[in-house]
Amino acid sequence: MDISTQIMSKIKPLKYFKAYLKSGAYPFVLEGNSSYHQRLVEIVTETLTYDIATIYNVPLSNITSLQKLLEIICRMD
């Protein structure tokens, strides 16, 4: 408890929590907030297209369907 109290007296992590929820902690957030979402989309697309398609031999048509499904899931509130 003493250590956590000392840390909390010096830094306020909750002050940045809303920004963290919005932009996460991926290293490319350092490139700037304006490009963060575009980079995130690029990384997800690259992962689906290259990693999943290659490792599991998934046809490109299925990857496209998977991308659409992921987009629908991400838009749900």
Alpha helices in 1-77 (DSSP H): 2-10, 17-23, 33-46, 53-56, 60-75
* Cβ partners under 8 Å of residue 26, min gap 6: 36, 39, 40, 43
User: Rg (Cα) of the chain, in Å, rounded?
Assistant: 18
Q: Is 63:48 a contact under the CB 8 Å cutoff?
A: yes
| pLDDT tens digits, one per residue of 48-68 | 988 988 999 999 899 999 999
Q: Taking Cα atoms as reference points, which of 54, 51, 53 lies closest to residue 43?
A: 51
pLDDT (0 to 100) of residue 72: 92
Enter the pTM of the model.
Answer: 0.55
pLDDT score for 26: 66
